[in-house]
Structure formats: C-alpha cells, structure tokens
Amino acid sequence: MKTIFIPFDQAFKDQVIAILNENHVRGFTFWENVQGRGSKSGEPHFGNHAWPSLNNALLTVVDDPKVKPIMEALKNLDKSSEMLGLRAFVWNIEEMY
C-alpha cells in the first residue's frame, strides 16, 4: 500500500477527483483553503490581496499497482497549466487497519 499526497491549486479540484474515480479510488481525505508556495515555480497561494489564490490538498491510500497510472495522470494535468501548481508525493504505508 502507498499513500499519495496531492497539494494542488483549487481550480484543479474536479479534475483531481476525476483521476481518482477513473482509477477506482474511493477513499481519500481532502483539505480546502491550504496555503503554500511551490519549491520550483508558480505563484504563491496565500489567500490574501497580493496572492489571492489558494490550494487544496488530498491524501489517499492505494494499492501499489494504482500509483503509476495516478501519478502519470496527475503529471499530465499539471502540464496542462503549470503556473497553477500541482504536485504529488508517494510514500509507503507500514501498517493499517
């Protein structure tokens, strides 16, 4: 099992959830109005007058074979509008119940 953590511009919400649905991923945890700034490019997302946009973030736990197609779809979505910002991080799940 793997965890995928996805911070993304709020404009990508429907597309990110669609990617999970297309890959038969039901469970996830979702946060709205997350602030941050990317380490490579893109605008800060602080929700203020200077930087008004905000991020969302999503965390899901999936079987290992689902990781690659989800990551590829997320990467393609990010490439469609790189200045909005979308990243995805994968780590191992040691134990769950």
Token pair of 96, please? 């769950």
Q: Report helix, strand or coil for 12.
A: helix
Return the pLDDT at 62.
Answer: 98
Q: Report helix, strand or coil for 66.
A: helix
Note the pTM of the prediction, 2 decimals: 0.92
Each residue's pLDDT, cut to its tens digit, for the chain (97 residues) gives 999 999 999 999 999 999 999 999 999 999 999 998 887 777 788 989 998 889 999 999 999 999 999 999 999 999 998 888 899 999 999 998 9
Is residue 1 within 8 A of residue 62, CB to CB? The reply is yes
Q: Report helix, strand or coil for 35.
A: coil
Q: How far apart (Å, rounded) are the C-alpha atoms in residues 42 and 55?
A: 12
Return the pLDDT at 82.
Answer: 81
Q: How many CB atoms lie within 10 A of CB 19?
A: 21
Q: How far apart (Å, rounded) are the C-alpha atoms in residues 72 and 32?
A: 23
Q: How far apart (Å, rounded) are the C-alpha atoms in residues 57 and 51?
A: 18
Structural domains of the chain, with CATH: 2-92 (3.30.70.120)
